Amino acid sequence: MSPAAPEELVLAVGAPAHGGHCVARPVDDPNGRVVFVRHALPGETVRARLSQKTSKMWRADAVEVLTASPDRVDPVWPEAGPGGVGGGELSHVALPAQRTWKRWVLADCLRRLGGEQVAEAVLALPESSAPGGVPVEPMPSETRAARSGDPRVRALAGTGTRTRVELTATPDGRAGMNAFRSGTVLPVSSLPLAVPALQELGLTERSRWRKQLRPGTRVHAVAPSGGDPVVVLTDGRGETVLTGAAHATGRRRVDELVDADGLGLGELRYSVHADGFWQVHRDAPAVLVDRVVRAALGARPSAAGTRKGDAPLDRDTVAGTRVLELYSGAGLFTLPLALLGCEVLSLEGSEQAVRDARRTLHDLPGTRLHAGRVTAASVAELGVSFGPGRDERADVVVLDPPRAGAGREVAQAVAVLGPRRIVLVACDPAALARDLGTLLAAGYAPASLAALDMFPHTHHFETVAILERA
């Protein structure tokens, strides 16, 4: 017996929801069952195929557009469309409209998950003066593309930005990616979101790579800013590192260069393991370093970063600031904070990332790097371990937690330390809202918030929030 055809519905599409969906309802039943539909746009009418149907949740993919939004464009990555791979779910949306989408999602998460107190506090910030709340800002390369006189450059804005790509070999040995919300690996023929240096490797089509791939092989391709690309293959035999020409190499580390001129630090150099974590958008490390360090040490609390006419940070003023850095990774923020003379105590759960940071900061005094889980207990212990007698508290706490956020217990422990300023970096608006709710309840108030479109053509974006004691 052949399987039943997937159920289809004609849907009227409403507002975006967190996760890359829109809230939709059947056109013939405006008050009927909510369906979370992908590959659609607010205001559209679509024919959608159900992909999940439970008592709590209906999900669907738009497979035919009956009434199109003016913000719909030809997708820059069709293979991430209906029934395709994950990771490019907004590639059918014009880039400015993607940022409007994300602004709506941020405002919704702040109110629905953070609560009215959080939503109203953020709306009171100067950066929320635009309709719809805090704007989602483009990265510098996207701004330059949008201003280009070449229509093709404008049309491809947001592509060619990712310096890291993750692939998995299909059962027949082709490069692929996971289907949305599935363990099934689908072959891909192009990588339009990857930087040109990775696209030129030909990972999806050249025979030299097919020879290296066994079913299930994981491929981690890296185009560092300080050298040539490398490709890390991981399978049952272990890990192999290859050059861009698919030749074995003993190179296990890459150099990343970050422009910190706005802080008065020039170019920063980091040593990172080839398959270690690093911000994937080519602009992200410099943008985050500038914004987070200024947010932590600036005389006024601002997440806007260096603006035209701003002077570099005054080292004589900021030197000696006691900074507790949580989820510190490979030292992206640790290095500039240390170079500015801060006393930095960092905590990171990945031992490999801590080793990377130690290699980068090996000759800098005043910095102590710890490997271990970030918990309420570890925050309470480390946050009062500054000063000559190791019994002084942090002046500033910087935390950049994973997508799940810091969580209630860690956020409460940070607040108990009583730093004058908290800088929270979040890559998920739902986690941001929950952590802000905890910190506001503990006596802190948001002083500035920036939202950054570091993941164009996906529903993800980054935020930098500054909180001070109310």
Choose, from 22, 109, 342, 427, the residue flagged as catalytic: 427
Give me the long-range contacts of 16-19 (CB less than 8 A, separation at least 24): 16/42, 16/101, 16/104, 16/105, 17/105, 17/108, 18/105, 18/108, 18/109, 18/429, 18/430, 18/459, 19/459
**E strand map for 188-237:** 218-222, 230-235
Vertex 112 angle, CA 111 and 118, to 5°: 35
pLDDT at residue number 1: 44
Whole-angstrom distance, CA of residue 31 vs CA of residue 17: 18
Burial (CB count <10 Å: 0-12, 13-18, 19+), residue 468: middle
Would you say 279 is a known binding-site residue?
A: yes
For residue 407, the SS3 value is: coil
> What type of residue is 157?
A
Neighbouring residues of 152: CB distance < 8 A, sequence distance ≥ 6: none
User: Encoding tokens for residue 145?
Assistant: 């593309």
CB 222 within 8 A of CB 163: yes
User: Encoding tokens for residue 452?
Assistant: 């950054």
Neighbouring residues of 245: CB distance < 8 A, sequence distance ≥ 6: 208
Would you say 400 is a known binding-site residue?
A: yes
Whole-angstrom distance, CA of residue 342 vs CA of residue 328: 15
CB 253 within 8 A of CB 228: no
Which one, of 467, 129, 405, 423, lies nearest residue 290 by Cα?
423
Name the percent of the chain in helix, strand, coil, to the closest 5.
Answer: 25, 30, 45
Neighbouring residues of 56: CB distance < 8 A, sequence distance ≥ 6: none
CB 136 within 8 A of CB 99: yes
pLDDT at residue number 131: 74
> What type of residue is 101?
W
pLDDT at residue number 3: 58
Q: Which residues pair with 422 in a beta bridge?
A: 397, 467
Whole-angstrom distance, CA of residue 50 vs CA of residue 266: 52
Q: Provide the phi-psi class of 119: left if phi over 0, else alpha when psi is between -120 and 50, else beta.
A: alpha
Vertex 141 angle, CA 261 and 451, to 5°: 80
Burial (CB count <10 Å: 0-12, 13-18, 19+), residue 349: middle
Question: Among this protein's residues, is 342 annotated catalytic?
Answer: no
Would you say 117 is a known binding-site residue?
A: no
Would you say 89 is a known binding-site residue?
A: no
Whole-angstrom distance, CA of residue 344 vs CA of residue 323: 5
Sorted by where each starts, the structural domains of the chain and their CATH numbers stand as 8-72 (2.40.50.140), 89-158+282-469 (3.40.50.150), 164-249 (no CATH)
pLDDT at residue number 307: 94
Question: Residue-wise pLDDT tens for the chain (470 aa)?
Answer: 455 667 999 999 999 999 999 999 999 998 889 999 999 999 999 999 999 999 889 999 999 999 999 999 999 999 999 999 999 999 999 999 999 999 999 999 999 999 999 999 999 999 997 777 899 999 999 999 989 989 889 888 999 999 999 999 999 999 999 998 888 999 999 999 999 999 999 999 988 998 899 999 999 999 999 999 999 999 988 999 999 999 999 999 999 999 999 999 999 999 999 999 999 999 999 999 999 999 999 999 999 999 999 999 999 999 999 999 999 999 999 999 999 999 999 999 999 999 999 999 988 988 999 999 999 999 999 999 998 888 899 999 999 999 999 999 999 999 999 999 999 999 999 999 999 999 999 999 999 999 999 999 999 999 999 999 98
Length of the chain: 470
Which one, of 460, 463, 456, 455, lies nearest residue 95 by Cα?
456
